[in-house]
Amino acid sequence: MNTVVTISGGGIIGNYISSRLNANNISTLVIEKNSDVLDLAENVRTVTLNQYSKNLIEKLGVSIPCSEINEILVFDGEGSGKINFHSKDIDEENLSYVFFFNDLYRALQEKAKQRTIFGNQIEDIKENIDGQICEVLLTNKDKINSSFVAGCDGRNSNIAKLARLNINVSDYDQTAVTFTTRSNLQNNKKAFQIFSERGIFAAMPVPKNKEDATHTIVWSIENNKLDNMKNIDSYVNENISYFEKKLNIEFEICSNLLTFKLTNHYFENYISDSTVLIGDAAHSIHPLAGQGINLGFSDADVFCDELIKGFENSRKLNRKLILTRYEVRRKQMNLLMLRSMDFFVELFRSKNLMVHLARNIGLSGVNKMKFLKTFFINHASGKNKL
């Protein structure tokens, strides 16, 4: 078999890349370790896309139900600090959009299904001497000749291991729990986030196709707080009233609770010979700002853009140039976002009185400074790009 790009991982990012390149007449094959039987579990987990990422999927003809957020209120649970971000601050109708993970996954898998080999993995990559084509060996012993191997296989990327790239990992010692709720709040374009000793609690409007719920909750809790609890349900049931009081909203839980251990990682280099890491394969961050998949979409967009330009501008592909340009355009931006998330996690973890005071003044101060608020919102919405 021959293809321009072999993609390891048919998740949201791998399938997006396959579909975008296919629309530009560049051949791809997706190798997905799971079978094509979709997990039809209940819609609980959500992802928040910024306008930039939403535009990317819409250009591929993907249109699925979502909810809109036009205002985000951020509180310091233990103090008086408060900041609000409104889409009007950046002259947009909305700040971001909430989708069910499963809906987005299914819609993109449908687009790339015909080019996917399910139930298989890449076992080895052999670089040819000409430095332009490599041989990809699958676990079923099939071989693919390819110019690029894109690792879109998430955390614990198999491609990163085969390419022997250096990884940096850190553990937040936190667990994220996510579930959907019904509430008594009428205006459902507002999202809330509270930083407190009981955890980082975010409530967002639920996508419109879940009629029995109003909010989706992502709540990151320190592991040491959970140690003495019989299970996470007890912690959630005993502590949710704290956030209800703070927000003056009643939340009735109406789904299973899903949990995720929180770590971050990044690679010092994203590329090596024919291989390139994209999305969660290259980096993962704390979910507090809902930016993980937006970074993945920006990576995917830049990789496709460089590859399409490479095809347009020359008859012979310059593999090294394409990959280097991708890495330069993405690595620093991703690292900046990872460091910013870590800064917030550490800031709100601190028990130091001066830090408490500084962060209250900081939140309220930023709230009054229009240019700083606009800067933050433009970053989160994907408007500030390289």
Ligand X SMILES: Cc1cc2nc3c(=O)[nH]c(=O)nc-3n(C[C@H](O)[C@H](O)[C@H](O)COP(=O)(O)OP(=O)(O)OC[C@H]3O[C@@H](n4cnc5c(N)ncnc54)[C@H](O)[C@@H]3O)c2cc1C
Residues found near ligand X in the complex (CB under 6 A): 8-14, 31-34, 47-48, 121, 152-154, 158, 176, 178, 218, 260, 279-280, 287, 290-294, 296
How many angstroms separate the CA atoms of 33 and 12, rounded?
Answer: 14
* Helix 353-368 and helix 370-381, axial crossing angle in degrees, nearest 10: 90
Instruction: Give the nearer residue to ligand X in terms of CB position, either 11 or 81.
Output: 11
* Residue partners of 16: CB distance under 8 A and separation at least 6: 56, 57, 60, 108, 297, 300
361 alpha carbon, distance to own chain's centre: 30
Which two structure tokens, joined as six digits, stand for 51? Answer: 């306008």
User: Closest distance between ligand X and the C-beta of residue 296, in Å?
Assistant: 4
Instruction: Give the nearer residue to ligand X in terms of CB position, either 107 or 359.
Output: 107
How far apart, in Å, do the first and last CA atoms of the chain sit? Answer: 36
Instruction: Give the nearer residue to ligand X in terms of CB position, either 218 or 363.
Output: 218
How many angstroms separate the CA atoms of 95 and 106, rounded?
Answer: 24
Which two structure tokens, joined as six digits, stand for 111? Answer: 């687009």
User: Closest distance between ligand X and the C-beta of residue 318, in Å?
Assistant: 26
How many angstroms separate the CA atoms of 264 and 311, rounded?
Answer: 35
Instruction: Give the nearer residue to ligand X in terms of CB position, either 178 or 275.
Output: 178
* Helix 12-23 and helix 51-59, axial crossing angle in degrees, nearest 10: 50
User: Closest distance between ligand X and the C-beta of residue 370, in Å?
Assistant: 26
Q: What is the dihedral of CA 127, 131, 132, 136, to 10 degrees?
A: 0
User: Closest distance between ligand X and the C-beta of residue 200, in Å?
Assistant: 11
Tokens 């917030």, residue located: 344
User: Closest distance between ligand X and the C-beta of residue 130, in Å?
Assistant: 26
Backbone phi and psi for residue 123, each to the nearest 5 degrees, phi listed first: -100, -35
Vertex 245: Cα angle to 261 and 71 (nearest 5): 70
Instruction: Give the nearer residue to ligand X in terms of CB position, either 217 or 359.
Output: 217
Instruction: Give the nearer residue to ligand X in terms of CB position, either 216 or 239.
Output: 216
3-state secondary structure of 354: helix
57 touches 46 (CB < 8 A):
no
User: Closest distance between ligand X and the C-beta of residue 207, in Å?
Assistant: 12
Instruction: Give the nearer residue to ligand X in terms of CB position, either 260 or 344.
Output: 260
Instruction: Give the nearer residue to ligand X in terms of CB position, either 290 or 359.
Output: 290
User: Closest distance between ligand X and the C-beta of residue 167, in Å?
Assistant: 15
> Is residue 196 left, alpha or beta, with left meaning phi > 0 and alpha meaning psi from -120 to 50?
beta
3-state secondary structure of 7: strand
How many angstroms separate the CA atoms of 323 and 329, rounded?
Answer: 10
User: Closest distance between ligand X and the C-beta of residue 329, in Å?
Assistant: 17
Instruction: Give the nearer residue to ligand X in terms of CB position, either 18 or 87.
Output: 18
* Residue partners of 110: CB distance under 8 A and separation at least 6: none
User: Closest distance between ligand X and the C-beta of residue 308, in Å?
Assistant: 20
